[in-house]
A and B are shown apart, each in its own frame.
Chain A
Amino acid sequence: MTRHAASMPTLCIENLQVTYALAGGPVEAVRDVSLTVASRECLGIVGESGSGKTQVFMAAMGLLAKNAQASGSVRFDGREILGLAPKALNRIRGSELTMIFQDPMSSLTPHLRIGVQLAEVLVTHRGFSWRDAMRAARFILERVRVPEPQRRLRQYPHELSGGMRQRVMIGMSLLCEPKLLIADEPTSALDVTVQAQIMEVLRAVRLEAAMGMVLISHDLGVVAALADRILVMYAGRVVEASPAGDLLQRPQHPYTALLLQCVPNLRTARLERMPCLPGQALGAGVRERGCAFAPRCPRATEQCRSEQPPLRSLQQSAQVACHHPLSR
Chain B
Amino acid sequence: MTRYFLMRLGGAIPTLFVIVTLAFFLIRAAPGGPFDREQSLPPQIMANLQNAYGLDQPVWVQYGRYVRALGHGDFGPSFKYKDFTVTELIGQGLPVTLELGTFALCLALALGIPVGIFAALRHNSPADYATMSVAVVGIAIPSFVALPCLALFFGIHLRWLPVAGWEPGSIRHLVLPVVALALPPLAYIARLTRAGMLEVLHSRFIRTAVAKGLPLRTVIARHALRPALVPVVGYLAPAVASIMTGSLVVESIAGLPGVGRYLVQGALNRDYTLVMGMVIIYSTVLIVMGLVADLLYAWLDPRVRFVR
Contact = CB atoms under 8 A, between A and B. Distances in A.
Interface in A82-112: 86-87, 89-95, 98-99, 101, 103, 106-112
A109 B214 contact: no
B205 A108 contact: yes
A93 B211 contact: yes
B303 A109 contact: no
A63 B207 contact: yes
B65 to A, nearest CB: 48
A93 B213 contact: yes
B270 interface: no
A220 to B, nearest CB: 25
13 contacts: A63-B210, A87-B215, A90-B214, A93-B210, A93-B211, A95-B213, A99-B211, A101-B211, A107-B205, A108-B208, A110-B227, A120-B212, A172-B212
Interface in B36-62: none
**Residue with the highest number of chain B CB atoms closer than 10 Å, among A61, A103, A109, A169:** A109
Interface string A47-83: 0000000000000011100000000000000000000
Contacts of B205: 106-110
Contact of B214 (A92, A94, A156): A94
B269 interface: no
Contacts of A296: none
A107 B207 contact: yes
A294 interface: no
A124 B302 contact: no
Nearest to A97: B213
B300 interface: yes
Contact of A94 (B212, B223, B227, B303): B212
Main SS at interface, chain B: helix
Contacts of A125: 213
Contacts of B133: none
B207 to A, nearest CB: 6
A93 B209 CA distance: 10
Nearest to B212: A94
Contacts of A116: 222
Interface of A: 61-63, 86-87, 89-95, 98-99, 101, 103, 106-112, 116, 120-121, 124-125, 156, 158, 169, 172
Give me the 4 closest cross-chain CB pairs, A-B, nearest first.
A94-B213, A94-B212, A106-B204, A90-B213
Contacts of A89: 213
B173 to A, nearest CB: 41
**Residue with the highest number of chain A CB atoms closer than 10 Å, among B212, B216, B218:** B212
Given A62-B210, A87-B215, A94-B211, 19 more contacts: A61-B211, A63-B207, A89-B213, A90-B214, A91-B213, A94-B214, A101-B211, A106-B203, A107-B208, A108-B205, A109-B208, A109-B222, A109-B223, A111-B300, A111-B301, A120-B212, A120-B214, A121-B212, A172-B212
A53 to B, nearest CB: 17
Contact of B302 (A61, A99, A111, A120): A111
B80 interface: no
A60 to B, nearest CB: 11
B226 interface: yes
A86 B216 contact: yes
Contacts of A106: 203-205
A86 B223 CA distance: 17
A120 B218 contact: yes
**Residue with the highest number of chain B CB atoms closer than 10 Å, among A90, A94, A111, A124:** A111
Interface string B190-226: 0000000000000111011111111110100011001
Contacts of A63: 207, 210-211
Contacts of B203: 106
A311 to B, nearest CB: 28
Contacts of A92: 213
B204 A112 contact: no
Contacts of B223: 109, 112
Nearest to B299: A111
A156 to B, nearest CB: 5
B204 A107 contact: yes
Interface string B152-166: 000000000000000
Contacts of A124: 212-215, 218
Nearest to A66: B123
B179 to A, nearest CB: 33
Contacts of A95: 213
A98 B303 CA distance: 28
A125 B213 CA distance: 8
A292 B45 CA distance: 94
B123 to A, nearest CB: 8
Contact of A111 (B210, B211, B214, B227): B227
B218 to A, nearest CB: 7
